[in-house]
Amino acid sequence: MAFYPVVVSPFLLPLRKFPKRLFFIPVLLFGIVFLVTSKAVVSSIQKYVRAANYISAAQIFLGDNFLLERPLSFADIKPRLLGHWGTAPGVNFIYANLNYLIKKHQAEMLFILGPGHGYAGLQSNLFMEGTLGKYFPFATQDLNGLGHVIKNFSWPYGFPSHTNPGTPGAILEGGELGYSLATAYGAVLDNPDLIAACVVGDGEAETGAIATAWHLSKFIDPSTNGAVLPILHLNGYKISGPTIFGRMSNADLLSLFKGSGYTPYVVEGEDEGVYEQMLETLEKCYQEIREIQKNAKTGKKLMGVPRWPMIILKTPKGWTGIKELGGLKVEGNYPSHQVVAAHAKEDVKELHAVENWLKSYNFGELFDPKKGFIKEIKDLVPDPSLAMGNSKYARGGKEVMKDLKLPPAEQFAEDAKIPGTMGSSSMRRAGLYLNEVFRLNKDVRNFRMLSPDETYSNKLDAIFETTSRASVMPSEPWDKDMGRDGRMMEMLSEHSLQGLMQGYVLTGRHAVFASYEAFVQIIASMADQYAKFISVMRNYPWHGQIPSLNYILTSSGWRQEHNGFSHQNPGFIDDMLHKRGCFTRIFFPPDGNSTLAVLKDSQ
Amino acid sequence: MAFYPVVVSPFLLPLRKFPKRLFFIPVLLFGIVFLVTSKAVVSSIQKYVRAANYISAAQIFLGDNFLLERPLSFADIKPRLLGHWGTAPGVNFIYANLNYLIKKHQAEMLFILGPGHGYAGLQSNLFMEGTLGKYFPFATQDLNGLGHVIKNFSWPYGFPSHTNPGTPGAILEGGELGYSLATAYGAVLDNPDLIAACVVGDGEAETGAIATAWHLSKFIDPSTNGAVLPILHLNGYKISGPTIFGRMSNADLLSLFKGSGYTPYVVEGEDEGVYEQMLETLEKCYQEIREIQKNAKTGKKLMGVPRWPMIILKTPKGWTGIKELGGLKVEGNYPSHQVVAAHAKEDVKELHAVENWLKSYNFGELFDPKKGFIKEIKDLVPDPSLAMGNSKYARGGKEVMKDLKLPPAEQFAEDAKIPGTMGSSSMRRAGLYLNEVFRLNKDVRNFRMLSPDETYSNKLDAIFETTSRASVMPSEPWDKDMGRDGRMMEMLSEHSLQGLMQGYVLTGRHAVFASYEAFVQIIASMADQYAKFISVMRNYPWHGQIPSLNYILTSSGWRQEHNGFSHQNPGFIDDMLHKRGCFTRIFFPPDGNSTLAVLKDSQ
């Protein structure tokens, strides 16, 4: 593995030991060694990406002849062409580079793919790293396995066209857009060794949910949580036109993300140079992440918000694909978004365009029908324990589930021997109970609460005896109940909190979301999508148990006469009632004691 | 009106006419004149704000003795204290300064208040400008009227505690947060003379809907649309803790909003200086807006995205209120958010704190029980035709309604004489029809379409024969169907588009929102809130008719087997079915011809 050098920055060399005039020698030597190894790494990554791009495109088009052993014919083309090509080459490029980073540092990484419609790309990587074969035994890394994957992509009873609950390593569906970043932040909470690489597409970047989730870094204490490495992947186009972020200048992009609290790096291009940039930038980001975490743990530079690195990656839409078709610019333009040559099954010109495109990858050089991928590619793949598709964090079950200790409901019950006794506030009781939950589970770090309307407003502030509100922002002497290690997440963004909760719970930990009843309707759509996700997840036996999402709806309609009609909406409960009883349970505890009983037994 | 000088920048003076050595004389003279008039203006605005602050606080606390003619007693305090003080002084400060700007330039402005819980503030201004009295005849500008407003704020059958559909000049409810900015952008579309001043609170700024709505300036062609002047009002605190934006450095804030495409100005402080800054900055913003519009209309500097000005206003939470209570910092801290001295009806200390606070405004100097407000204050109020509470844009009805011409459905019908004939796609038919709607109404500029998933994807692209997709971003030679004056709004943000539509329709124009059925659920909550808003609006006879919101749901569940389960969700229709028939109508046209009939008759 000569091409995985540990890159030591020259500035770390013991400079004082050398006479000044000899200084240039080690620097020069180092430069040459670095250049050679870096060239070798880039060459391997390029080969890996070429293979992944071939498989991505082949999945969309080919039903047979998937090694192109004979001239491509209409019969080889699938009868219904489905799948998104445009983002796939970028996804492959990112995945390959992350693989190199993981191997080099033996880093534990989770891959969160915002543009999950680019599943042809992700599945290629899962196949190449062997995790697809682990969970889908026909996907062996040989000729048969390759054929199985290509033929069964976007095929009835085969593999879906989008990232889905059956995708190894995935905790995000490739459907409704906007939730990648908050999910990634949720996954790294209380997982200090984990780095979640989160790809945000430039379509998704236009959603409100993403736009505000950039602020979530302001809640992450680097000494007790993992890190998110956001990669804003701008290929510039949606289905039929340009994206907002794709038309912003680099100066504006850098300004926007600096202002959002990050250290942004632009990686841009389409030739070898972009490979070199990405290699260097990812290494820099990794070092910055570890530096921030080290400083936080050793108490250095604790003040202020850490400026985590992020990458703005600009590569052409449909990079390496068909350049032009019927006079229309395809690569680097919107026609690359989905199926590129949609009439390849009837139109000879399009068929040839697909054939020439697929041949351009010289897949035969990279894959042997018997031995599988060439050594250079295999060497880039991390060990199964670190392969992103095989991440334990995405599988639920015993490996990651951290059981929650719950106190008995009686501990906080009120005397209600005389029928009709008016008890105290249900929420005050709930606050006492939840405070005890925080206390009992303090060392396990397996429980968080979230609220968009603030804990005090929801009368749950008894929890602040044990915990506080998470914040790494600058503090003032008069602040109360704020803490870098707080377990209560307060942000006026229902979307961000729901995303955080999904990321936290899907990786095996427990959470309660407290919201005014009226405004929780804001995330009805997210809750719908989540219910479908876990419904499908149950079909895959290798997915272990995960905890439930728990909502406490406060300030229900009848308590909102003072704030008015705008604060009344029972829509979320209606929405939940549409789901089957095996997915949702809804309780209406009429008093404090019943609330305690529900809290004890609903988890 | 000596204190309303037309401020001419010295750089506009004909310099060449003066010998160089005399140049300093006009500059010096101008400087002195400007200084004197500016001091006088600031002094008037300060008096106006003092009066508004007094009325704001009095509304929250006082049931009687509202001129403090005798020492305040428990009996004078309302039995249930309700209302948000914290943001009110900032709202009053902004409103007063906007009034000055409106008078000076005879500008047509609409006031969109994001933090609508600060209604005690807004209502004070509506009372002082006389529009409250116009719509609520008891609110006369004398002792009786003042007493009526103060006593009936947050009172059964009186005035609500939040901005609401009965608020003169309001097209935004003060409930669910996040929609102010998109609503403001919707209101100025096709209203080239209008400036919507949009106050975004720092709580609301955390929502996803606001976070992405900043990008909406990239859709505004200054030559045919009005302008939005966003005022991000940072007082730093929510109900019980600091806000994200309140803890960001000015450097980060400026960087964020520059990156978002604006020219941001920070106005910050609590003394006279902040009044001077605001006066100067608002004038600068106004000039920049008019300059951008003039350049666009004359064809100068058309390229690129105009960098509209915006203001980041930082004033203390509960500015001028109680400084400290029981050892707790109140002004400039979260306890100022809502009712400041919540026990003023039982606790002597709190009662005295309220009394001293109210007395600090010397309201007697500013208001005469018989003659009403002093001349300096009255002179600041714009004429009724320009008073923001009296804006015609917020009233619906004939003044702003622009009737939509609809072609007959038959014009695009298919031959279906033989029963069972399979027609063409419903959406293709709808596209032809909507194209004709654009054509018929081209000159009236009263119709827009919006879509988060793109028109091509929804098969409605026949409209591009007549219109295009709005964008003022840089273009590429291969772009198609993009135009600075496009009437189709495409952005991957359901929230932004729904907000735009609400702003557009509430100001009397027509719109159709086309969305995949599954993802329109993202704005179910907004649609719920809107339905409640128009339901209450109907109680106010001075509110005229407005057009309906129209949704076309495409790609319904059964057509989404290829994209998968994540693209299936009938939840929005369920949600609409909960509403009464007088608010919603739902059609399920089974074919192209029925779709045409529905489009013709559902408007």
For residue A40, the one-letter residue type is A
Mean pLDDT over residues B308-322, rounded? 98
Mean pLDDT over residues B117-143, rounded? 97
pLDDT tens by residue, A107-123: 999 999 999 999 999 99
Quick check: A211 pLDDT over 90?
yes
Q: Name the 3-class secondary structure at B135.
A: helix
Express the helix, strand and coil content of chain B in percent, nearest 5 each. Answer: 45, 10, 45
Q: What is the pLDDT of residue A581?
A: 83
Lowest mean pLDDT among A167-176, B254-263, B301-310, B336-345: B301-310
Phi then psi for residue A109, to 5 deg, are -125, 150
| A201 lies within 8 A of chain B by CB | no
**Quick one: which of A518, A576, A505 has its CA closest to A187?**
A505
pLDDT tens by residue, A357-387: 999 999 999 999 999 999 999 999 999 999 9
Give me A262's structure tokens.
């990050």
| B219 lies within 8 A of chain A by CB | no
Burial of A588 (0-12, 13-18, 19+ CB in 10 A): exposed
Taking an 8 Å cut-off on Cβ atoms, the answer to whether B175 and A567 are in contact is yes
Contacts of B161 in chain A (CB under 8 A): 562-564
Buried b (16+ CB within 10 A) or exposed e, B67-77: bbeeebeeebb
| B69 lies within 8 A of chain A by CB | no
For B434-453, what is the HEC assignment?
Answer: HHHHHHHCCCCCCEEEEECC
Contacts of B237 in chain A (CB under 8 A): none
Quick check: A90 pLDDT over 80?
yes
Phi then psi for residue A184, to 5 deg, are -60, -45
Of A160, A210, A562, the CB nearest to B564: A160
What is the C-alpha to C-alpha distance for residues A366 and A55, in angstroms, rounded to an integer? 11
How many angstroms separate the CA of residue B7 from the nearest CA in chain A?
Answer: 33
Give me A23's structure tokens.
């200084």
Taking an 8 Å cut-off on Cβ atoms, the answer to whether A522 and B525 are in contact is yes
**Quick one: which of A313, A380, A361 has its CA closest to A57?**
A361
Q: What is the pLDDT of residue B7?
A: 31
Give me A173's structure tokens.
């569906």
Quick check: A398 pLDDT over 80?
yes
In A116-197, which residue ranges form alpha helices assigned H by DSSP?
A: 119-129, 131-135, 143-152, 180-188
Contact B433, B409 (CB under 8 A): yes
Chain-centroid distance, C-alpha A538: 21
Across chain B, how many H-helices and E-strands are there? 18, 15
Contact B53, B59 (CB under 8 A): no
Average pLDDT over chain B, rounded to whole? Answer: 92
Q: What is the pLDDT of residue B518?
A: 94
Contacts of A476 in chain B (CB under 8 A): 242
Choose the mutation target among B207, B255, B317, B569 for the interface with A, i.e. most A CBs under 10 Å: B207
In chain A, whose CA is at the least distance from the CA of B535?
A565
Taking an 8 Å cut-off on Cβ atoms, the answer to whether A261 and B252 are in contact is yes
Q: Which of residues 82-141 of A touch B (CB under 8 A)?
A: 82, 117
For A27-67, what is the HEC assignment?
Answer: HHHHHHHHHHHHHHHHHHHHHHHHHHHHHHHHHHHECCCCC
Taking an 8 Å cut-off on Cβ atoms, the answer to whether B207 and A210 are in contact is no
DSSP E strands: which ranges in B517-575?
A: 549-554
| B469 lies within 8 A of chain A by CB | yes
**Secondary structure (DSSP) of A523-582:** GHHHHHHHHHHHHHHTT-TTS---PPEEEEEES-GGG-TTT-GGG---HHHHHHHTS-TT
Range among A294-298, A387-391, B35-39 with highest mean pLDDT value: A387-391
Chain-centroid distance, C-alpha B14: 40
Q: What is the pLDDT of residue A25?
A: 57
Taking an 8 Å cut-off on Cβ atoms, the answer to whether B160 and A564 are in contact is yes
Average pLDDT over chain A, rounded to whole? Answer: 92
How many angstroms separate the CA of residue B288 from the nearest CA in chain A?
Answer: 20
Kind and range of the H or E run holding B285: helix B272-297
Q: What is the pLDDT of residue B574?
A: 93
Give me B319's structure tokens.
């500015």
Q: Tell me which fold the domain A409-602 belongs to.
A: Rossmann fold (3.40.50)
Q: What is the pLDDT of residue B45?
A: 98
pLDDT tens by residue, A35-83: 667 899 999 999 999 999 999 999 999 999 999 999 999 999 999 999 9
Chain-centroid distance, C-alpha A500: 11
Q: What is the pLDDT of residue A4?
A: 31
In chain B, whose CA is at the least distance from the CA of A263?
B252
Mean pLDDT over residues A287-313, rounded? 88
Taking an 8 Å cut-off on Cβ atoms, the answer to whether A525 and B519 are in contact is yes
**Quick one: which of A495, A469, A567, A553 has its CA closest to B241?**
A469
**Quick one: which of B337, B293, B290, B347 has its CA closest to B316?**
B337
Mean pLDDT over residues B271-276, rounded? 96
Instruction: With cut-offs at 50, 70 and 90, classify the pLDDT of residue A422.
Output: confident
**Unique residue bearing structure tokens 């009843």:** A517
Half-sphere exposure of A77 (CA within 13 A, CB side): 24
Q: What is the largest CA-CA distance in chain A?
A: 93
Q: Which of residues 532-571 of B touch A (CB under 8 A)?
A: 532-533, 535-536, 562-569, 571
Quick check: A315 pLDDT over 70?
yes
DSSP letter at A1? Answer: -
What is the C-alpha to C-alpha distance for residues B83 and B60, in angstroms, rounded to an integer? 6
| A175 lies within 8 A of chain B by CB | yes
Contacts of B502 in chain A (CB under 8 A): none
Choose the mutation target among A238, A492, A528 for the interface with B, i.e. most B CBs under 10 Å: A492
Contacts of B469 in chain A (CB under 8 A): 241
**Unique residue bearing structure tokens 């949702």:** A584
What is the C-alpha to C-alpha distance for residues B62 and A201, in angstroms, rounded to an integer? 54
Give me A487's structure tokens.
């377990």
Instruction: With cut-offs at 50, 70 and 90, classify the pLDDT of residue B410.
Output: very high
Length of chain B: 603
- The residues facing A233 across adjacent strands are A201, A313
How many angstroms separate the CA of residue A281 from the nearest CA in chain B?
Answer: 22
CB atoms within 10 A of CB A467: 23
Contact A192, A158 (CB under 8 A): no
The ipTM assigned to this model is 0.93
CB atoms within 10 A of CB B478: 13
Calculated CA dihedral for residues A256, A259, A262, A263, nearest 10 degrees:
80
Instruction: With cut-offs at 50, 70 and 90, classify the pLDDT of residue A27.
Output: low
Of B238, B478, B564, the CB nearest to A333: B478
Contact A174, A159 (CB under 8 A): no
Instruction: With cut-offs at 50, 70 and 90, classify the pLDDT of residue B580.
Output: confident
Choose the mutation target among A456, A478, A522 for the interface with B, i.e. most B CBs under 10 Å: A522
- The residues facing B512 across adjacent strands are B449, B550
Contacts of A482 in chain B (CB under 8 A): 241-242
Of B82, B258, B481, the CB nearest to A255: B258
How many angstroms separate the CA of residue A471 from the nearest CA in chain B?
Answer: 9
How many angstroms separate the CA of residue A479 from the nearest CA in chain B?
Answer: 7
What is the C-alpha to C-alpha distance for residues B465 and A549, in angstroms, rounded to an integer? 48
* Distances from the Cα of B119 to the Cα of A391, B77, B122, B410, angstroms: 51, 19, 5, 50
In chain A, which residues fall in CATH 3.40.50.970?
A: 43-394, 409-602
**Quick one: which of A201, A180, A174 has its CA closest to A120?**
A174
How many angstroms separate the CA of residue A144 from the nearest CA in chain B?
Answer: 25
Taking an 8 Å cut-off on Cβ atoms, the answer to whether A160 and B206 are in contact is no
Mean pLDDT over residues B325-339, rounded? 96
pLDDT tens by residue, B493-518: 999 999 999 999 999 999 999 999 99
- The residues facing A198 across adjacent strands are A112, A230
Taking an 8 Å cut-off on Cβ atoms, the answer to whether B207 and A208 are in contact is yes
Q: What is the pLDDT of residue A563?
A: 79
**Quick one: which of B454, B436, B435, B448 has its CA closest to B501?**
B448
Give me B379's structure tokens.
């002179």
**A333 versus B564: which is more confidently predicted?**
A333
DSSP letter at B326? Answer: T
Q: What is the pLDDT of residue A34?
A: 65
Q: What is the pLDDT of residue B299?
A: 79
Quick check: B162 pLDDT over 90?
yes
- The residues facing B553 across adjacent strands are B515
Mean pLDDT over residues A273-282, rounded? 97
Contact B543, B507 (CB under 8 A): no
Integer Rg of chain A from CA: 26
Q: Is A19 left (phi over 0), alpha (psi -120 to 50) or beta?
A: beta
Q: Name the 3-class secondary structure at B47.
A: helix
Of A239, A528, A564, the CB nearest to B164: A564
Contact A32, A10 (CB under 8 A): no
**A581 versus A115: which is more confidently predicted?**
A115
Q: What is the pLDDT of residue A254?
A: 98
Taking an 8 Å cut-off on Cβ atoms, the answer to whether B492 and A238 are in contact is yes
Instruction: With cut-offs at 50, 70 and 90, classify the pLDDT of residue A557.
Output: confident
Taking an 8 Å cut-off on Cβ atoms, the answer to whether B259 and A258 are in contact is yes
CA angle B482, B485, B486 (to 5 degrees): 50
Kind and range of the H or E run holding A469: strand A469-470
Q: What is the pLDDT of residue A221?
A: 95
| A276 lies within 8 A of chain B by CB | no
Integer Rg of chain B from CA: 26
Class for the domain spanning A43-394: alpha beta
pLDDT tens by residue, B51-83: 999 999 999 999 999 999 999 999 999 999 999
Half-sphere exposure of B33 (CA within 13 A, CB side): 14
